[in-house]
Amino acid sequence: MLAVRDIDVFYGRVQALRSVSLEIASGEMVALFGANGAGKTTSLRAISGMLPIIAGEVTFEGKRLNGMSPEAVSGLGIAHIPEGRGIFPHMTVWQNLKMGGYGKRLKTGPLSEQIDRVVTLFPRLKERLGQQAGTMSGGEQQMLAIGRALVGSPRLLLLDEPSHGLAPKIVQEVFALLANLRTEGMGLLVVEQYAAVALAVAERGYVLDRGVVAFAGDAASIASDPSALVGAYLGA
Amino acid sequence: MLLLLQYAVNGLAAGFVIGLLALSLVMIYRSTRVLSFAQGVIASLATYVYYQMQTVWEWPAVAALPIALIAAAIVGALADLLAMRPLRKADALTRTVATLGIVLVLQVVMRVGWGGQESFVRPLVSGGIRAGDFNVGAQELLTAFVAIAAAGLFGLWTRTSYRGLGLQAIAEDASAARLLGVDPTRASMLAWSIGAVLAALAGILVTPTLVLNPLQMTLIMVTAFGAALLGGFTSLPMALGGGVLIGVVQSVTTGYVNVSGVSEAFGFVAVFAVLVVMRGKRGAVVLPGRSAA
Amino acid sequence: MRRSGTPLYGAGLAVAVAVAGLVLGAFWLTIFSLAICYVLAALSMVVLTGWSGQLNLHVAALGLGWGAYSMYALTVFGVPVAIALPAAGIVTIPFAILIGSVAVRFRGLELAVATLAIGLIFERLAFRNIGKVLASRSENITTFGSSFVPVGRPDAGVVSFETDRGFFYFSLLLAVVVFVLVRNLARGRTGRTLRALREREVMAESLGIPVLRWRVGAFAMSIMIASTAGALLAALKTGITPDSFNIDLSFRLLAATVIGGIVSPSGAVIGGAVAALLPEVVQFGPLKMFSGERLFVLFGVGMILALWRLPEGLAGIGERLRVRRARRTLPAPATLPDAAAAMPSPNGSASVRRVYPNTLARHIRPTLLRAHGVRVRFGGVVALDGVDLSVPEGEIAALIGPNGAGKSTLFNCISGLIEPNEGCIYYRGRDVTGLSAHERAIEGIGRTFQTVEAFREMTVIENLMVAGHAGVPASGIAEALTLPSSRRAERALAERAHEVCETIGLSDVASRLAGELSLGRLRELELGMALVRRPRLLLLDEPSAGLDPRETAALGEIVRRARDADDLSVLLVEHDMTLVQSLAEHVFVLDFGEIIAQGSPERVRRDPVVLERYLGSGDLVLAAAAGDEPARKPKAVSRARRS
């Protein structure tokens, strides 16, 4: 579904990613680990069009994403939930959800149906439709961000540190929900610093270290021998 | 006392005009972070177009007004296309300075088209209401009505329609909005068009009572900055309310203090005072680079 | 602002114009005099906007008008015009400082609007009424009650400047004097400081430069120059009307200056000349359609074009050609090595990392820095939740922790950019919690930033000199007049700069612009800047970010050498554990705003609490521990994470 091949990405004159390759098949959850500054967020931003790709190629369902603007990429069915969630704090929950359908030919029905579908998944949002998004707790905001992305029925979901600032119990809930999304054929790429919870759910994982893929494999093998992970975070 | 109230009521119309200009400023600032100094001249230009149709060609107001508003929307879109879009990668202050370039250009357009004369425009409605010892002109009432209706309609549109929500989304978190599919260049053009229409309304409504003069509109616009600042450049109702407040106080001041330039200056003092007050409310720390490690 | 051959061009231009003045007729003399006024007005904007990054939107009222009315006021009180005119600029200084002290607390757009508001208050209110009041005091009864104010021309007794030709030479002389003074300031400490302020204000503050004071100074200097221009203008027109200094004039002057180039004095010359001469030039030939008011279309379009394509204005064209001819090439982007590339061996470095034989050894040394109970809240989010740490003299310590742990916040508290809600920072036994960043810099705390905050638009040596400015008193007047005292001070700054340049290994690029350096060398420069004033405490914020292992090792070497030479203490925030392990003697681990572990790098690396925080669960920690050492029971930890 998504194929990233040997991409180089720069921040100004600093090379943030070097020959990074990864793949996601539909119905698969892939985790991306690494220390701060390793390039995890950069990878997501390169895929969603927020950063230019200097070398290499990104294709999504056969279509080349290089050089496309974030607006255009979003229209192809890729939803990127940035670190910090990117919800609109002064807009209500309902308005935020509506923005999930911006510019998209809503495939399975009108907007109200899509929103209904989403709030069924997130009962807590249902109670708060008229509430200003900025007044909700971190966990609720995360659910809103995911729900908003789901309104547009994306085929690929990019999540940047969904556990950021959340209580462990909520993190479990979020990941359980994400796991269920795979059954609808959605692909998920999850960037996480806290590896354990992601490894429990994902099929495969990549470990980034200073802009390079240091390790790629299935989740079970990373969990049983986390030396690559530990090396990336705390040194050899 | 009655005199005071009369002055206050007289100031309402000017206040609503200031409020409309403030609305147009907020509209553009929220979505683009640019403070458009050009709103005053856009208002003047639209008024000259309206004058051309209504007074010179003697078309009925019902026809002239919508056409003038459409012309304003086009001018706003053009201003965005020619001045703002090339500079989209520049910082907000640079783009704001560029709006001064629009001011210079449009001033010349008006000079070329109408010779810079001050001309008379017939009011949209005439007559008035007497309530006891009060006089309220019909034009003043119309102005108030239009301003409130415009604020209400645009406020509603911003909160419910896709495009309107898109503008607000860009204002709150531009990159998150882009990730959802909102195109910032189109949003900018939309904001400028709407801003131009609001400014045009302000110009057309105020002109019968105030002489048609591009310089005058620019000065009123600076006062509108103060009103917009009261709303923190984000709140539409507060911008409108702020405009009314400033208009009323200006009028009262003119009534009682007979020094030339005082009431005008009051508007500018208000701008400065609001800046100082707003400054005190916000924090201080300015940090370079990325946020927390 | 570039160092260019301007003195020669400037002198040549002045001479050429002076000679031309001998043959021109009255009409053109007036135009050229007008150009000189506009050039000075443009110069005031270059000094304010181009040098210190502040914007005055109504220079006609807030500047020109002040000068004109000040001069008139002086003449009313009996001062002859020949003295009143040059004095007008100086007389406005106290007022400029007053208004400036308030205005400069605003930034960017707000400052621009503030100047517009203040300017309009003066234009529409103050000037009209002051004019009347002053006129009523003068002996000239015919001007009583009108707002037209007549102004005489200078008459120095022996030489009269009343004729058009005489006045032209008077203006030229005055302008040349102003330009020379400004140029002297530009090339020295004042120019450097203002350019630093404009480019990176926070870094300047962290180098010990009192930013607000300098912004006021730049503001006052700009108003002074504009006032002089305004006084000249009034004398040229032999009168002031209320509309002499209206908003249109301000916008036009701003446009002309942007077109000419708002960043350099040569831009001011071009801009002012354009503003005065263009209306005449368009009378001829094909440009005739732009005559009269239509001319300003060119100004408007020209300004937008300049902002878009030519931010340095027409004056920048010369600079661009020069750069192209010099064919300077940027070094290739720093590339990252393969992950398997060899790490520098720990024993390969010249100096050796100190190791504490036991924890007591660390506590015996005198404490340099201590943070006690530091709490910081941003809105509802707790960034630091009671941080206690201490760093003894002469130690290299590291601060590590997961993303969002609060490391930068803690750094900013120590360096003075953030004030904690609770808690204290002690430095050399003194409570410095209330000191600002620049005050702490003067006390001896130096720092670097994640985004390398060296000044790209200055040379390496200039960067190092700016770093040395703080705490050394200097006189602007001595500088403007290039007195020996200021030249001595410059030499001392330059000597120290070259010394540090040598230490950090950048002597070969001392005269290159910092913006042309590779990231690794930029970081070394920033480190050098922090070292210039011989700090006791050095705070390094992610110094290795973006560097390859070779560059990281080189940087680490410089840090160690600096510490060994001066026995200063270093605290660094890092994610690169190779650097931490080779450099740090003591490591603090921060998570969720508090110190969860500390000790030697080896100890911390194997601490199960730390591992669990990074990896997120006990099971993974067990697996990691199993691969590492003989089984060590991790403490059973159940931790509630804050949301």
The tens digit of pLDDT for each residue in C291-340 reads 777 788 889 999 999 999 888 888 888 777 766 766 554 444 444 333 32
pTM: 0.83
Specify the pLDDT at position B213: 65
What residues of chain A lie within 8 A of the CB of C624, using their CB?
A: 226-227, 229-230
Specify the pLDDT at position C104: 80
CA A215 and chain centroid, separation: 20
Claim to verify: residue A61 and residue A165 sit in the same structural domain: yes
Tell which of C213, C246, C279 closes a domain: C246
| Residue whose structure tokens are 């400037």 | C10
Specify the pLDDT at position C624: 60
Which helix (H) or strand (E) segment holds residue B90: the answer is none
Residue C427 has pLDDT above 90, yes or no: yes
Structure tokens at C193: 């400081």
Specify the pLDDT at position C313: 83
In CATH, what number is assigned to the domain containing residue A177?
A: 3.40.50.300
- Whether A86 is in a domain gets the answer no
Q: How sure is the predictor about C628, in pLDDT bands with cuts at 50, 70 and 90?
A: very low
What residues of chain B lie within 8 A of the CB of A87, using their CB?
A: 173, 176
Higher local confidence (pLDDT), C599 or A210: C599
Residues C571-585, mean pLDDT to the nearest whole number: 88
Residues C370-378, mean pLDDT to the nearest whole number: 92
Residues A110-139, mean pLDDT to the nearest whole number: 86
Structural domain spans, chain B = 18-213
Specify the pLDDT at position A70: 94
Residue C570 · residue C397 · CB < 8 Å: yes
What residues of chain A lie within 8 A of the CB of B234, using their CB?
A: 90
* Closest C-alpha to C513, from C334, C322, C336, C307: C322
Claim to verify: residue A192 and residue A177 sit in the same structural domain: yes
CA C280 and chain centroid, separation: 38
Determine whether the interchain pair B179/A87 forms a contact, defined as Cβ–Cβ distance below 8 Å.
no
Pairing mode of beta strands C586-591, A204-209: unpaired
Specify the pLDDT at position C625: 57
Q: Which residues contact C327 (CB under 8 A, 6 or more apart)?
A: none
Tell which of A105, A130, A154 closes a domain: A154
CA B270 and chain centroid, separation: 16
Determine whether the interchain pair B179/A98 forms a contact, defined as Cβ–Cβ distance below 8 Å.
no
Specify the pLDDT at position C462: 94
Specify the pLDDT at position C333: 40
CA B279 and chain centroid, separation: 23
* Closest residue, chain C, to B264 (C-alpha): C124
SS3 C444: coil
How many Cβ atoms sit within 10 Å of the Cβ of residue A227?
A: 14
Task: Domain count for chain C, please give it.
Answer: 2
Q: How sure is the predictor about B117, in pLDDT bands with cuts at 50, 70 and 90?
A: low
- Whether A132 is in a domain gets the answer yes
Higher local confidence (pLDDT), B115 or C459: C459
Q: From the CA of B232, how many Å to the nearest CA of chain A?
A: 14
* C3/C192 Cα distance (integer angstroms): 12
Return residues 331-360 of C near B (CB < 8 Å): none
Claim to verify: residue A28 and residue A59 sit in the same structural domain: yes
Q: What percentage of chain C has pLDDT greater than the value 70?
A: 85
Specify the pLDDT at position C630: 35
Determine whether the interchain pair B93/C254 forms a contact, defined as Cβ–Cβ distance below 8 Å.
no
CA C72 and chain centroid, separation: 36
- Say which of B86, B103, B292 has its CB closest to residue C383: B292
Residue B293 has pLDDT above 50, yes or no: no
What residues of chain C lie within 8 A of the CB of B104, using their CB?
A: 251-252, 255, 296-297, 299-300, 303
- Say which of B112, B286, B292 has its CB closest to residue C408: B292
Using one digit for the tens of pLDDT, what is the confidence trace for C23-79? 888 888 889 999 999 999 999 999 999 888 889 999 999 999 999 888 888 888 888
**Which of C54, C99, C297 is the best residue to mutate to test the B interface, defined by the most B CB atoms within 10 Å of its own CB?**
C297
∠ Cα A102 A105 A108 (to 5°): 110
Specify the pLDDT at position C79: 82
Q: What percentage of chain C has pLDDT greater than the value 90?
A: 34
Query: In this complex, is the C-beta atom of C297 within 8 Å of any C-beta atom belonging to chain B?
Result: yes
Residue C610 has pLDDT above 50, yes or no: yes
Determine whether the interchain pair C333/A14 forms a contact, defined as Cβ–Cβ distance below 8 Å.
yes
Using one digit for the tens of pLDDT, what is the confidence trace for A211-231? 889 889 888 888 887 777 777
* Domain of A101, in residue numbers: 95-154
Q: How sure is the predictor about C113, in pLDDT bands with cuts at 50, 70 and 90?
A: confident
Residues C559-578, mean pLDDT to the nearest whole number: 89
What one-character DSSP code corresponds to residue C262? T
Claim to verify: residue C402 and residue C525 sit in the same structural domain: yes
* Domain of C491, in residue numbers: 353-628
Structure tokens at C609: 């609490």
SS3 C2: coil
Using one digit for the tens of pLDDT, what is the confidence trace for B233-248? 878 888 899 899 888 8
Exposure on the CB side of residue B90, measured as CA atoms within 13 A: 21
Specify the pLDDT at position C352: 60
Determine whether the interchain pair A37/C519 forms a contact, defined as Cβ–Cβ distance below 8 Å.
no
Claim to verify: residue A37 and residue A106 sit in the same structural domain: no
In CATH, what number is assigned to the domain containing residue C527?
A: 3.40.50.300
Higher local confidence (pLDDT), B36 or C359: B36
What residues of chain B lie within 8 A of the CB of A152, using their CB?
A: 180-181
Specify the pLDDT at position B281: 56
Determine whether the interchain pair C303/B293 forms a contact, defined as Cβ–Cβ distance below 8 Å.
no
Query: In this complex, is the C-beta atom of C253 within 8 Å of any C-beta atom belonging to chain B?
Result: no
Specify the pLDDT at position B63: 85
- Say which of C114, C293, C417 has its CB closest to residue B108: C293
Q: Please, what is the average pLDDT of chain A? A: 87
Specify the pLDDT at position C344: 37
Cα separation values, C104 from C52, C193, C219, Å: 11, 16, 8
Query: In this complex, is the C-beta atom of A89 within 8 Å of any C-beta atom belonging to chain C?
Result: no
* C155/C167 Cα distance (integer angstroms): 9
Structure tokens at C396: 């290299």
Specify the pLDDT at position C356: 74
Query: In this complex, is the C-beta atom of C576 within 8 Å of any C-beta atom belonging to chain B?
Result: no
- Say which of C336, C403, C404 has its CB closest to residue A212: C336
Determine whether the interchain pair B293/A86 forms a contact, defined as Cβ–Cβ distance below 8 Å.
no
Chain B positions contacting chain A at CB under 8 Å are 159, 162, 165-166, 168-169, 172-173, 175-183, 234, 293
* Closest C-alpha to C222, from C50, C475, C459, C478: C50
Burial B71-92 (b: 16+ CB within 10 A, else e): bbbebbbebbeebbebbeebee
Q: From the CA of B37, how many Å to the nearest CA of chain A?
A: 27
Determine whether the interchain pair B181/A74 forms a contact, defined as Cβ–Cβ distance below 8 Å.
yes
Higher local confidence (pLDDT), A235 or C575: C575
What residues of chain A lie within 8 A of the CB of C336, using their CB?
A: 15, 18, 210-212
- Whether C389 is in a domain gets the answer yes
Residue C227 · residue C70 · CB < 8 Å: yes
Residue A50 has pLDDT above 90, yes or no: yes
Determine whether the interchain pair A234/C605 forms a contact, defined as Cβ–Cβ distance below 8 Å.
yes
* B204/B67 Cα distance (integer angstroms): 12
* Closest residue, chain B, to C203 (C-alpha): B288
Determine whether the interchain pair A197/C339 forms a contact, defined as Cβ–Cβ distance below 8 Å.
no
Using one digit for the tens of pLDDT, what is the confidence trace for A157-203? 999 988 887 777 888 888 888 888 888 889 999 998 778 888 888 99
Q: List the single range of B6-15, B27-36, B44-53 with lowest mean pLDDT.
A: B6-15
Claim to verify: residue C10 and residue C130 sit in the same structural domain: yes
Higher local confidence (pLDDT), C620 or C562: C562
What residues of chain C lie within 8 A of the CB of B276, using their CB?
A: 102
Chains in touch with B (3+ beta-carbon pairs under 8 Å) read A, C
* Closest C-alpha to A63, from A150, A153, A22, A3: A3
Claim to verify: residue A54 and residue A164 sit in the same structural domain: yes
Residue C457 has pLDDT above 80, yes or no: yes
Instruction: Report how many Cβ contacts below 8 Å link chain A to chain C.
Output: 110
∠ Cα C306 C320 B82 (to 5°): 20
Query: In this complex, is the C-beta atom of C18 within 8 Å of any C-beta atom belonging to chain B?
Result: no
Instruction: Report how many Cβ contacts below 8 Å link chain A to chain B.
Output: 69
Claim to verify: residue C359 and residue C219 sit in the same structural domain: no
- Whether A84 is in a domain gets the answer no
Residue C13 has pLDDT above 60, yes or no: yes
How many Cβ atoms sit within 10 Å of the Cβ of residue B12?
A: 20
Specify the pLDDT at position C60: 93
Residues B89-108, mean pLDDT to the nearest whole number: 89
* B229/C218 Cα distance (integer angstroms): 27
What residues of chain A lie within 8 A of the CB of B162, using their CB?
A: 98, 101-103
Q: From the CA of C619, how many Å to the nearest CA of chain A?
A: 8
Using one digit for the tens of pLDDT, what is the confidence trace for A64-120? 999 999 999 999 999 999 988 889 998 999 999 999 989 877 666 788 888 888 888
- Whether A195 is in a domain gets the answer yes
Claim to verify: residue A104 and residue A114 sit in the same structural domain: yes
Specify the pLDDT at position C642: 30
* Closest C-alpha to C428, from C442, C447, C407: C442
Residues C201-225, mean pLDDT to the nearest whole number: 90
Chains in touch with A (3+ beta-carbon pairs under 8 Å) read B, C
Specify the pLDDT at position A195: 82
Specify the pLDDT at position C56: 92
Return residues 33-72 of A near C (CB < 8 Å): 35-37
Using one digit for the tens of pLDDT, what is the confidence trace for A13-44? 778 899 999 999 989 999 999 877 788 999 99
Claim to verify: residue A181 and residue A64 sit in the same structural domain: yes
Residues A118-128, mean pLDDT to the nearest whole number: 86
Cα separation values, C287 from C258, C275, C279, Å: 22, 16, 10
Burial of C2 (0-12, 13-18, 19+ CB in 10 A): middle
Residue B40 has pLDDT above 60, yes or no: yes
Specify the pLDDT at position B134: 61
Positive or negative: CA dihedral C224, C225, C230, C232: positive
* Closest C-alpha to C161, from C148, C174, C178: C174
Task: Domain count for chain A, please give it.
Answer: 2
- Whether A83 is in a domain gets the answer no
What residues of chain B lie within 8 A of the CB of C248, using their CB?
A: 107, 215
Claim to verify: residue C366 and residue C222 sit in the same structural domain: no
Cα separation values, C344 from C399, C527, C578, C603, Å: 22, 21, 9, 22
Specify the pLDDT at position B12: 83
Specify the pLDDT at position A167: 77
Structure tokens at C119: 């300017």
Which helix (H) or strand (E) segment holds residue A69: the answer is none
Residue C637 has pLDDT above 50, yes or no: no
What residues of chain C lie within 8 A of the CB of A226, using their CB?
A: 615, 620, 623-624, 627
What residues of chain A lie within 8 A of the CB of B182, using their CB?
A: 71, 102-103
Claim to verify: residue A22 and residue A117 sit in the same structural domain: no
Q: How sure is the predictor about C144, in pLDDT bands with cuts at 50, 70 and 90?
A: very low
Specify the pLDDT at position A88: 93
Q: From the CA of B149, how many Å to the nearest CA of chain C?
A: 29
Specify the pLDDT at position C351: 53
Chain C positions contacting chain A at CB under 8 Å are 330, 333-336, 338-339, 343, 381, 402-404, 518-519, 542, 545-546, 575-578, 580-581, 605, 610-611, 614-617, 619-620, 623-624, 627, 640-643
Residue C88 · residue C71 · CB < 8 Å: yes
Claim to verify: residue A48 and residue A148 sit in the same structural domain: no
Claim to verify: residue C543 and residue C423 sit in the same structural domain: yes
